[in-house]
Amino acid sequence: MAVIKNDIWIANMANQGMIEPFEPQLVRKLDNLPVISYGLSSYGYDIRLSASEFRIFRHIPGTVVDPKRFNPENLEPAKLHHDNHGAYFILPAHSYGLGVAKEKLVVPENITVLCIGKSTYARIGLIANLTPAEAGWRGHLTLEFSNSSSADCRIYAEEGVVQLLFLEGEPCNISYETRSGKYQDQPEQVIVSKV
């Protein structure tokens, strides 16, 4: 039976290097300006979207996106914009984009992390794919977003973008680390599909 871990456990493990950088409380304002919350919550941790990179899928006539032979030309870099509300990328209507988490994770061997979307973004039609970080995984998560609305959407950099839920289970026989998973040690950049 899996058990969801609370803020006490998350803070203790973060102090041992599980999340870096770590924010021990839910941040809702920076320099007196509202931000999309990030940091520690009751039973999770809201991570931030890194300003380092965001890429949007584009159509190249005559090509099909193939996860076994991914063509990086199908991903176009998005410009980082700035105004008095913060730094942001624009995800066009009915499009799909990839970003990366600012925080680095080091997942313990008896924990699996589920990455779920924040309601603030879901309410404007921006859907974050449910993504796992398996037992023993480490690195910066590549995050996947779909704009299901008919309007372009802002996605703010350096602010909360998804929530992590930490589920403890019985120790597994072979962890992500043990099997040398293909997405191990991801840097703070978008990593495309690998086989």
Is 144 among the residues known to form the active site?
A: yes
CATH number of 3-168: 2.70.40.10
* Predicted confidence (pLDDT) per residue in 85-115, tens digit: 999 999 999 999 999 999 999 999 999 999 9
In this structure, of 22-31, 44-53, 174-183, the range with the lowest mean pLDDT score is: 174-183
Q: For residue range 137-163, what is the model confidence (pLDDT) as tens digits?
A: 999 999 999 999 999 999 999 999 999
- What is the DSSP code string of 111-167? EEEEEEE-HHHHTTTEEEPPEEE-TT-EEPPEEEEEE-SSS-EEEETTSEEEEEEEE
pTM score of the predicted model:
0.93
- The pLDDT value recorded for residue 121 is 97
Q: Which of 103, 144, 170, 177 is catalytic?
A: 144
**Average pLDDT value over all residues in the chain:** 95
How many angstroms separate the CA atoms of 190 and 52, rounded? Answer: 9
